Amino acid sequence: MNFSKLSDSISGEVIVPGDQQYEEARAIYNGMIDKRPAAIVKCQNTDDVVAAVNFGRENRIETAIRGGGHNGAGLALVDGGLVIDLAEMNEIKVDAAAKTARVQGGCLLKDVDAATHEHGLALPSGIIGTTGIGGLTLGGGMGYLSRKGGLTIDNLLECEVVLASGEVVTANEHSHPDLFWALRGGGGNFGVVTSFKFHLLDVKNVYAGPMFWPLEKARAAMQFYDELTKDAPNDLYGFFAFLRVPPAPPFPEHLWNQKVCGVVWNYTGPMDEVERVFKPIREFGPPVLDFVSEIPMPALNSMFDALYPPGMQWYWRAHYLDELTDGAIDVNIKYGEKIPNFHTTTHLYPIDGAVHEVGSNETAWAIRDARWAQVIVGVDPDAANAGTVTDWCKNFHTALTPHARGGAYVNFMMEEGQEKIKAAYGDNYAKLAAIKAEYDADNFFHVNQNIKPQLESSGV
Ligand SMILES: Cc1cc2nc3c(=O)[nH]c(=O)nc-3n(C[C@H](O)[C@H](O)[C@H](O)COP(=O)(O)OP(=O)(O)OC[C@H]3O[C@@H](n4cnc5c(N)ncnc54)[C@H](O)[C@@H]3O)c2cc1C
């Protein structure tokens, strides 16, 4: 395929195999993925995206969309196809008075954090700064501010979208409301989002950080955490984790590589309340490590970035949990004891609080009544250990299945088949398929957790 017609018509570059930048351009976060696209289009503006979409469609080339390149399954790339790379579309404009931000589709979370923090504002997003706002938002977006402000999509006001036809539309509550509904959870199925407009929260500094207990206390710690957070105000957030303590400062040397459980807290209420709120938490235990203190919100959002640089081997699986039953706790402890290295971990992300204040049918993101999204993540820098971390992850996931509520967060899935995708969307799948049929009947955008176009009335 000759891409010169495309490269002549756009401001950005088109990178093909053999070009000096090709290896760098095709590298994504998960080192397990090794895909070789026919061309990577480094878009600089919406017109470039339109040209790339039209080129891909007219020439019938499989086309993928790359935001931050963090997708575990490697859905930012396609073997032998065209990649619409948005990394250079990374402008952010904050309107501090209106408490909104206009964010281009290729921005990373850390850039959004930095730009909003300057104004004492924050967007609920994810826990690693190098993640792309594009994929994270379109899949839902959960993190330290979920209990306070909901998912990232719950703060989404508008999108500019390049459709499969090449048409550019604005999707919000009034313009293309069906598309706007689908974009809030439906992933990259409906078009290329060139910019997002978000509502921002008044959050500047938070009282936050990790607190660990020895693994022997895991059962009591999980039960205590469950009870404490059940009726806690939305200002108190904490995700539960099993891990090995990383063998590096600032962690104390006597804890290096020890298996522990713990919570990474984030309290967004008044600072003069901190002592009262954390008194029972500190009295339970006491913790073997307590790094909870007042820090700027971006420091929390990037706290683990250095531990997880790009290029490592990643394999993950996910569940939704309604409650921490004895069975769920047993499985977590069993596999917590078998964690193979200090990168591998499991996190239980709370999705109650403000996430529950939005109805299951109000956005495409269907599972609004579960309390946690659990991710089980096997990570290792060495490709020789890919099998070990993958097996741990798969076995843990299988063992937890009887204790989970069914379905999983699309952004924590590998390529796991159509039934899993349907389960992720539950009752919303049929409506998503109908909207897909309206906006992308030929399934041009299919390199994603794919929703097949299907008119509702066809009944098939
Ligand atoms: C280290 C790490 C930490 C994470 N932490 C969190 C977390 O705290 N919370 C959370 O919710 N998720 C988290 N995730 C999951 C993350 O949301 C997904 O991996 C998501 O796909 C990443 O988005 P991206 O833009 O970086 O991905 P990419 O790999 O670039 O894109 C993934 C898919 O998203 C779609 N896409 C991306 N951008 C656009 C766009 N602008 N328009 C249309 N489609 C687009 C495309 O379909 C693409 O195939 C994390 C992932 C990693 C690897």
Claim to verify: residue 182 and residue 322 sit in the same structural domain: no
The predicted-structure confidence for 387-441, as pLDDT tens digits, reads as follows: 999 999 999 999 999 999 999 999 999 999 999 999 999 999 999 999 999 999 9
pLDDT recorded at residue 255 = 96
Element (H, E) at 264: strand 259-267
Q: Would you say residue 437 lies in a domain? A: no
Q: Is the pLDDT of residue 35 over 70?
A: yes
Task: Work out the average pLDDT over 77-99.
Answer: 98
User: What mean pLDDT value characterizes the chain?
Assistant: 97
Is there a domain that residue 281 lies in?
yes
Ligand 1 atom closest to residue 194's alpha carbon, by position in its atom list = 41
Domains contained in the chain, number:
3
Cα atoms in the Cβ-side hemisphere of radius 13 Å centred on 407? 22
66 in contact with ligand 1, CB cutoff 6 A: yes
Tell me the pLDDT tens digit for each residue of 356-391.
999 999 999 999 999 999 999 999 999 999 999 999
Whether 436 is covered by a domain: the verdict is: no
64 lines ligand 1 (CB under 6 A): yes
Check pocket membership of 363 for ligand 1, CB cut-off 6 A. Answer: no
Q: Is the confidence at residue 260, as pLDDT, over 90?
A: yes
Looking at the structure, tell me whether residues 125 and 261 fall in a common domain. no
Three-state secondary structure readout of 222-236:
HHHHHHHHHCCCCCE
Note whether 274 and 126 are same-domain residues: no
- Is there an atom of ligand 1 within 6 Å of 134 CB? yes
Out of 181, 199, 217, a domain closes at 199
The mean pLDDT value for 95-102 works out to 98
Rounded to 10 degrees, what is the CA torsion of 157, 303, 70, 348? -80
Domain that holds residue 292: 205-412
Q: Which of 160, 177, 199 is the last residue of a domain?
A: 199
Residue 296: inside a domain:
yes
Whether 428 is in the pocket of ligand 1, judged by its Cβ within 6 Å, is: no
Query: What is the signed CA dihedral for 262, 266, 272, 277, rounded to 10 degrees?
Result: -40
Whose Cα sits closest to atom 1 in ligand 1?
128
d(CA 276, CA 295): 18
Query: Is 423 inside any structural domain?
Result: no
* Residue 327 sits in the same domain as residue 396: yes
Nearest C-alpha to atom 44 of ligand 1 is from which residue?
188
pLDDT tens profile 105-136: 999 999 999 999 999 999 999 999 999 999 99
For residues 366-385, one letter each, b for 16 or more C-beta atoms within 10 angstroms of the residue's C-beta and e for the rest, the string is: bbbebbbbbbbbbbbeeeeb
Instruction: Assess whether 15 and 119 both reside in one domain.
Output: no
417 within domain boundaries? no
Q: Would 393 be classed as within a structural domain?
A: yes
Mean pLDDT in residue range 196-218: 97
Specify if 449 maps to a domain: no
Per-residue pLDDT for 459 more than 50?
no
CA 85 and chain centroid, separation? 18
My answer on whether 392 and 255 are in the same domain is yes
Same domain, 17 and 157: no
User: What pLDDT is recorded for position 4?
Assistant: 94
* 189 CA closest ligand 1 atom index: 47
Tokens of 104: 């281009």
Selection from 63, 68, 70, 118 nearest residue 88 by Cα = 68
The pLDDT assigned to 457 comes to: 60
> Same domain for 390 and 249?
yes
Asked if 105 and 193 count as a contact pair (C-beta separation under 8 A), the reply is yes
Q: Write down the pLDDT at residue 280.
A: 94
Question: Which residue's alpha carbon is nearest to atom 48 within ligand 1?
Answer: 76
Please determine, for residue 460, whether its predicted confidence score (pLDDT) is greater than 50. Answer: no
In this structure, the number of other CB atoms found within 10 A of the CB of residue 130 comes to 18
Q: Crossing angle, helix 418-425 and helix 429-439, to 10 degrees? A: 110
Q: Is 127 in the pocket of ligand 1 (CB under 6 A)?
A: yes
| pLDDT for position 1 | 84
How many CB atoms lie under 10 A from the CB of residue 442? 12
CATH number, position 149 = 3.30.465.10
Domain boundary among 199, 222, 238: 199
